[in-house]
């Protein structure tokens, strides 16, 4: 057995208002006055002075606001890297991502591509990155994906949707300030929060499970139950706990894998552009057969928070589109293997997958 030796985020600060300490944290990292810090920020914060007034730009530092209308693409990373290279005097001191999973993934990818040659899509896969990334900081503003702690950055490329999984991907510094999540719209709070719940269920029910993943998975699962099922938490406690649930959910899958919901949601995303959080919910809602207890709880949570999921999103698809969807999902071998075991191909067929998609 060859065990994975994987890196973790070496520094993390947690607390409401900890975002105020960003400047003191990054100042010692600055290489020189010509080497700026580049902030990649979700454009939902563009005129939000509560957040932006706490960022102090010095020398050549700059903010690039980014729309999260669509999830990150390799070409978007290539363009950002080019824009940065053309506009700075020297290689930047660091990249700071402020936003949800989309922005955190972009920040990771940009920091890798500023020190590695060629096009971003050529690094989609496992351990293809040669040079260490630039110093990069992740500051989540919505909780659930675990992108703040993971070793991957999920990108849609010309041929596939696949992460850059590497030892250089994790952030050098994460700032967990749950107060930053206070204005997340309710539906989005639910969809991204359920990503974490689904990570924990898929990890805990998977064949790859081990004590490492289980301990983190249990924590994420129980925190999600408290946040989404119980009425005992204040808003502040719920924000704090969901941020930690996201962290633990991400840690849990580091040493295992996700499962059926993620495998199928990748297919939806590739063909229909369905976003990760809502896509997982649409799929998970139909997975009683695979995750009976998780799906039962999910339906109670959905009801409790009055969440309406879109129905029939695959009904109008052409046969060709459906086949693409099935083949994208089918190709996620490790996810299926984790979910159904070694002989997963005996337990599910492309035809069954198609039937399942048609119900969604």
The site for Zn ion (CB under 5 A) is made up of 195
Q: Report the residue number, 177 or 195, with the smaller CB distance to Zn ion.
A: 195
- For the CB of residue 56, give the shortest distance to ligand NAD in the complex, in Å: 20
Q: Report the residue number, 42 or 61, with the smaller CB distance to ligand NAD.
A: 42
- For the CB of residue 203, give the shortest distance to ligand NAD in the complex, in Å: 13
153 binds ligand NAD (CB under 6 A): yes
> For ligand NAD, what does the binding mask look like between residues 39 and 58, x meaning CB under 6 A?
---x-x--------------
Mark 180-201 as b/e (b = at least 16 C-beta within 10 Å).
Answer: bbeebeebebbbbbbbbbbbbb
> For ligand NAD, what does the binding mask look like between residues 58 and 87, x meaning CB under 6 A?
----------x--xx---------------
Q: Report the residue number, 18 or 153, with the smaller CB distance to ligand NAD.
A: 153
Residue ranges in 265-294 that form contacts with ligand NAD under rule CB under 6 A? 276-277
Q: How do strand 161-165 and strand 154-156 relate by DSSP bridges?
A: antiparallel
Q: How do strand 161-165 and strand 125-126 relate by DSSP bridges?
A: parallel
Residue ranges in 161-220 that form contacts with ligand NAD under rule CB under 6 A? 180-181, 183-184, 188, 192, 195
> For ligand NAD, what does the binding mask look like between residues 310 and 349, x meaning CB under 6 A?
----------------------------------------
CA atoms within 13 A on the CB side of 88: 25
Residue ranges in 2-31 that form contacts with ligand NAD under rule CB under 6 A? none
Rounded to whole angstroms, the Cα distance separating 155 from 74 reads 6
Contacted by 332, from ligand NAD, Zn ion, none: CB < 5 to 8 Å by type: none
- For the CB of residue 142, give the shortest distance to ligand NAD in the complex, in Å: 4
Q: What is the 3-state secondary structure (H, E, C) of the chain?
A: CCCCCCCCCCEEEECCCHHHHHHHHHHHHCCCCCCCEEEEEEHHHCCCHHHHCCCCCCCCCEEEEECCCCCCEHHHHHHHHHHHHHHCCCCCCEEEEEECHHHHHHHHHHHHHCCCCCCHHHHCEECCCCCCCCCEEEEECCCCCCCCCCCCCEEECCCCEEEEECCCCCCCEEEECHHHHCCCCHHHHHHHHHHHHHHHHHHHCCCCCCHHHHHHHHHHHHHHHHHHHCCCCCHHHHHHHHHHHHHHHHHHHHCCCCCHHHHHHHHHHHHHCCCHHHHHHHHHCCCCCCCHHHHHHHHHHHHHCCCCCCCCCCCCCCHHHHHHHHHHHHCCHHHHHHHHCCCHHHHCCHHHHHHHHHHC
257 binds ligand NAD (CB under 6 A): no
Q: Report the residue number, 36 or 178, with the smaller CB distance to ligand NAD.
A: 178
Instruction: Count the residues of the shown chain that bind ligand NAD, applying the rule CB under 6 A.
Output: 30
| Tokens 């530092």 belong to residue | 61
Q: Report the residue number, 38 or 339, with the smaller CB distance to Zn ion.
A: 339
Contacted by 277, from Zn ion, ligand NAD, none: CB < 5 to 8 Å by type: ligand NAD
Rounded to whole angstroms, the Cα distance separating 327 from 69 reads 26
- For the CB of residue 215, give the shortest distance to ligand NAD in the complex, in Å: 19
99 binds ligand NAD (CB under 6 A): yes
- For the CB of residue 67, give the shortest distance to ligand NAD in the complex, in Å: 8
- For the CB of residue 47, give the shortest distance to ligand NAD in the complex, in Å: 13
- For the CB of residue 112, give the shortest distance to ligand NAD in the complex, in Å: 12
Among 36, 94, 97, 101, binds ligand NAD (CB under 6 A): 101
Applying CB under 6 A, the residues found at the interface with ligand NAD are: 42, 44, 68, 71-72, 99-103, 105, 141-142, 144-147, 150, 152-154, 180-181, 183-184, 188, 192, 195, 276-277
């Amino acid at each position: 057995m060859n065990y994975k030796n994987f890196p973790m985020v070496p520094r993390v600060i947690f607390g409401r208002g900890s975002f105020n300490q960003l400047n003191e944290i990054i100042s010692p990292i600055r290489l020189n006055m010509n080497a700026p810090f580049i902030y990649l920020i979700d454009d939902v914060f563009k005129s939000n002075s509560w957040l932006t007034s706490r960022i102090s730009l010095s020398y050549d530092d700059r903010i690039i606001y980014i729309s999260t209308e669509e999830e990150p693409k390799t070409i978007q990373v290539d363009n950002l890297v080019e824009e940065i290279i053309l506009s700075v005097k020297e290689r930047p001191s660091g990249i700071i991502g402020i936003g949800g999973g989309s922005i955190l993934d972009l920040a990771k990818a940009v920091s890798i591509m500023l020190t590695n040659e060629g096009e971003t899509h050529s690094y989609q896969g496992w351990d293809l990155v040669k040079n260490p990334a630039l110093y990069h900081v992740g500051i989540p503003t919505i909780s659930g994906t675990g992108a703040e702690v993971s070793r991957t950055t999920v990108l849609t490329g010309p041929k596939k949707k696949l992460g850059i999984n590497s030892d250089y991907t994790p952030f050098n510094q994460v700032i967990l300030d749950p107060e930053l999540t206070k204005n997340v719209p309710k539906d989005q709070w639910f969809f991204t929060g359920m990503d974490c719940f689904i990570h924990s269920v898929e990890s805990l029910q998977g064949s790859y499970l081990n004590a490492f993943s289980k301990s983190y998975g249990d924590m994420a699962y129980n925190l999600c139950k408290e946040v989404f099922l119980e009425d005992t938490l204040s808003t502040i406690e719920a924000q704090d706990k969901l941020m930690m649930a996201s962290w633990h959910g991400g840690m849990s899958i580091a040493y295992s894998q996700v499962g059926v919901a993620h495998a199928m949601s990748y297919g939806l995303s590739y063909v229909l552009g369905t976003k990760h959080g809502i896509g997982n919910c649409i799929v998970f809602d139909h997975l009683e057969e695979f995750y009976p207890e998780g799906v039962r709880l999910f339906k109670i949570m959905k009801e409790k928070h009055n969440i309406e999921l879109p129905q029939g999103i695959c009904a109008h698809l052409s046969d060709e589109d459906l086949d693409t969807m099935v083949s994208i999902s089918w190709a996620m071998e490790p996810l299926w293997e984790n979910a159904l075991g070694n002989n997963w191909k005996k337990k599910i067929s492309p035809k069954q997958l198609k039937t399942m998609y048609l119900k969604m």
